[in-house]
Structure 1
Amino acid sequence: MSQVHLRRFTGSAIAPHLHDVADLRIRVFREWPYLYQGDMDYEQRYLETYSRSPESLFVLAFDGERVVGASTGVPMADETDEFKQPFIARGDDPGRIFYFGESVLLPTYRGQGVGVRFFQEREGYACELGRFTHTAFCAVDRPSDHPRRPPDHVPLDDFWMRRGYVKQPSLTTLLTWLDLEESRPTAKPMTFWLKRLDGVDAN
């Protein structure tokens, strides 16, 4: 197994890697539970959020010069309304939250601790910026009887809880994409997970 190394890119430095991240999202999110029938037009629209933000983050996993994984983040204040509005409605300040977009890693490279390092790198960056009290991400909700659910699927909830994240049933949103075998995009329910950053002054 080749040694995977991680590199961090922020702000305008992410631009040369947008295509790599888009390609990984399309490949990895075809799997359960996202079942994403991706295309580059959708990816370009999605990644505009990161292109616009001067404090966006890509943590990329390399095997040599090949990008084999990616983990992203952006200040919640720079996100779209679909992400911000649930927090605003609850009375939370999006300006104090750093949002984690996704972690995608090719199957060959899983089980080597890269997922843990993705979280560590993103949380470390949020702490370095100095004004964030929490980090957050959201995950798709699929019914337990979904016909495409693999019989051996193990949810990531335990992994996320070990990282200190707590599921927030009161924080939900809808995101729209094209599922495999769908004829048109449909809205999918998403639930947020939240973690308080240690050593950060909330005042």
Structure 2
Amino acid sequence: MISNRILTGDAVLDVLDDLARLRITVFRDWPYLYDGDIEHEREYLTAYRHPGAVVVAAYDGELMIGAATGAPMEDHAEGFRTAFAGRPEQLDEIFYCAESVLLPDYRGRGLGHVFFDGREAQGRALGRRYSAFCSVQRPTDHPLRPADYRPLDDFWRKRGYEPLSGVVAEFDWKDIDAPDSTKKPLQFWMKTL
């Protein structure tokens, strides 16, 4: 039976290893192609114990099968400040819906909505006016792109999100087929809460 849990504060620390393993597994696939390691993941994820942050986790029994993270935008990466420079929205008005990861066998069951609902509720509870996330941009002719890949753009639009023209962050990570880390562009999407 699938259940959902909202985790904040120190409760996030109790699930760090499960969340780290889940992220490494899911982000290994297209379009992220992330060659992650548990220590880096644990270090990154500890930020989600800070006030205002949330983890919306999905379980099948006691197995974490999916999770979504979120935090006040100003508490997140410095690269976001650069991406939003010149925008009318202030970072402290935005709730950042960070990563969503879900094992393939559980997709198509409405958990994507659960993940956004939980994070958007957290944003509203914090008095945020906007909710935003970013998605990695890969070339359409990338050699590892699956032939049956369907972008999530339609799902995001149905939730009220639109891409922000010119609002792109760059982050680096090591791809599964690369010897070193390289920068990737991530396009921001946003909606009014």
Give yes or no for TM over 0.5: yes
Q: Which amino acid is the alignment partner of residue 18 of structure 1?
A: L
* Cα-to-partner distance string for 1:5-41 (whole Å, 9 max, x where unaligned): 1010112221111111111110001111001111123
After TM superposition, the score normalised by the length of structure 1 is 0.91
Per the TM alignment, residue 109 of structure 1 is displaced from its structure 2 partner at its CA by: 1.1
* Cα-to-partner distance string for 1:103-128 (whole Å, 9 max, x where unaligned): 11111111111111111111112112
Aligned length: 193
Q: Distance in 2 between matches of 1:99 and 1:15?
A: 20
Which residue, out of 146, 149, 166, partners 1:150? 146
Moved over 4 A (4+): none
Secondary structure in 2 matching 1:77 = helix
Q: Distance in 2 between matches of 1:11 and 1:96?
A: 21
Is the Cα–Cα contact under 8 Å of residues 174 and 182 in structure 2 kept in the other structure? yes
Which residue, out of 99, 103, 110, partners 1:102? 99
Instruction: Name the % identity.
Output: 46
Per the TM alignment, residue 49 of structure 1 is displaced from its structure 2 partner at its CA by: 2.8
Per the TM alignment, residue 91 of structure 1 is displaced from its structure 2 partner at its CA by: 4.1
Q: Which residue of 2 aligns with 1:18?
A: 16
Q: Which residue of 2 aligns with 1:40?
A: 38
| RMSD over equivalenced CA pairs, Å | 1.2
Q: Distance in 2 between matches of 1:167 and 1:69?
A: 24
2:108 is the alignment partner of 1:111: yes
Per the TM alignment, residue 83 of structure 1 is displaced from its structure 2 partner at its CA by: 2.0
After TM superposition, the score normalised by the length of structure 2 is 0.95
Secondary structure in 1 matching 2:44 = helix
Q: Which amino acid is the alignment partner of residue 44 of structure 1?
A: R
2:87 is the alignment partner of 1:69: no
Q: Which residue of 2 aligns with 1:189?
A: 185
Is the Cα–Cα contact under 8 Å of residues 13 and 46 in structure 2 kept in the other structure? no
Q: Which amino acid is the alignment partner of residue 80 of structure 1?
A: A
